[in-house]
Amino acid sequence: MSFRKVVRQSKFRHVFGQPVKTDQCYDDIRVSRVTWDSTFCAVNPSFVAIIVEASGGGAFLVLPLHKTGRIDKSYPTVCGHTGPVLDIDWCPHNDHVIASGSEDCTVMVRAGPASWGVAGVTPLGSLSPVSPQVWQIPENGLSQPLTEPVVVLEGHSKRVGIVTWHPTARNVLLSAGCDNVVLIWNVGTAEELYRLDGLHPDLIYSVSWSRDGSRFCTACKDKSVRVIDPRRGTVVAEKERAHEGARPMRAIFLADGKIFTTGFSRMSERQLALWDTENLEEPMGLQELDSSNGALLPFYDPDTNVVYVCGKGDSSIRYFEITEEPPYIHFLNTFTSKEPQRGMGWMPKRGLDVSKCEIARWAWGHGGRGEGPQTPPNLPRPPLLPGRFYKLHERKCEPIIMTVPRK
């Protein structure tokens, strides 16, 4: 009688998470308490940005990655918004440029003084406050509060809850507001490239670009997931009632064009689903997790095809491998910590320490994104890398390193 394998083979079955030492965390940070299902944290290889509580308006911290330990209460912030900041995103093409969206209906973009020339920008004094904003961060971080954005992008009539940069085209930014409008901007000229109005009848929960940037998918309060061609301004695919529950859901594009969603069932159980955009009638895979009420934030690693799922208010990160064989969504493992997370940041691959087999680095705002050390030329590069997270607790940010053990 032949022996049958009962355990699925996977290179990532033994991926494990490890928090950094206490002195490598960012302490005494008052993470935002605003009721919005954002990550509250953005990281790149140079900085970690965290949305914080602020009186008289909205603000976020921008810290050089090496500035760990206790953060003084007087540390300068980016504080040009008049309402709470809801979302932030680092430009993938310049580590000193960050965009922010706020309850004051504005999107702002900021960048470092010598790092980015923005030609043809409308003078700030001539713009109304109902717009996204772009900020420029100095080489060594902030030495004084930053109140003047590089660009203010005018167009939304209600609060702006989503800002996300185009993955391949420089200076192209997408914003989505509670006016149910998606705007795509040329940040270099402060011009509106595309206005997508009338495609969403209700609040937009999430937006995710496809890997080549030709399309994006949205999750909406009407329970529909839509795939949109921004150049044509049309919905090319739509799945109504992707998740039956009334709580927020999210959708992200995978590298092969499929869509991964998180949401709730009619009985308020949290769910994961995988969809083929060529046939959205039924999900390729559907899994129920638990009955907690925190929104599930998915983070995707296209190099390993692993999706990390973090629930707001949870104290764990669950990760799943997406494959071509049924049931398509394969549970790998769970990283668990003692404290619940308020938000989460995901480090891009170029910020990982490949000599240590990092595949993901996270920061929990118990949040951030940044660029880390490069591999010395005399060390071999491991073929596969997971990542690093920045977990936000109530008053600190804790990096979590995901590692594939070497044989």
Per-residue confidence at 359, pLDDT binned at 50, 70, 90? low
The three-point CA angle 318-321-322 to 5° equals 130
Q: What separation in angstroms does the CA of 398 have from each of 269, 280, 299?
A: 28, 38, 17
Helix (H, G, I), strand (E, B) or coil at 70: strand
Q: Rounded distance, CA 43 to CA 89, Å?
A: 8
> What pLDDT does 356 receive?
63
- The answer on pLDDT for 133 being more than 80 is no
Q: What separation in angstroms does the CA of 75 have from each of 60, 70, 141, 143, 277?
A: 11, 10, 11, 8, 46
Residue closest to 38 by CA, chosen among 207, 153, 199:
207
- The answer on pLDDT for 69 being more than 80 is yes
> What pLDDT does 331 receive?
95
Q: Rounded distance, CA 278 to CA 309, Å?
A: 25
Report DSSP state, residue 329.
Answer: E
Q: Rounded distance, CA 57 to CA 199, Å?
A: 31
pTM: 0.88
Q: What does the pLDDT look like over 104-126, one tens digit per residue?
A: 988 999 775 434 444 333 333 33
Query: Mean pLDDT for the chain?
Result: 87
CATH architecture for segment(s) 16-403: 7 Propeller (2.130)
Helix (H, G, I), strand (E, B) or coil at 119: coil
> What values do phi and psi take at 12, rounded to 5?
-115, 15
Share of the chain above pLDDT 90, in %: 72
Quick count: other Cβ atoms within 10 Å of Cβ 116? 21
Q: What separation in angstroms does the CA of 22 have from each of 27, 395, 397, 400?
A: 9, 13, 10, 12
Task: Give me the count of residues in the chain.
Answer: 407
Q: Which residue has the tokens 């509670």?
A: 178
Q: What separation in angstroms does the CA of 281 have from each of 181, 206, 220, 240?
A: 26, 21, 18, 9
User: Hey, what are 396's tokens?
Assistant: 């600190």
The three-point CA angle 246-251-254 to 5° equals 160
User: Hey, what are 398's tokens?
Assistant: 């804790």
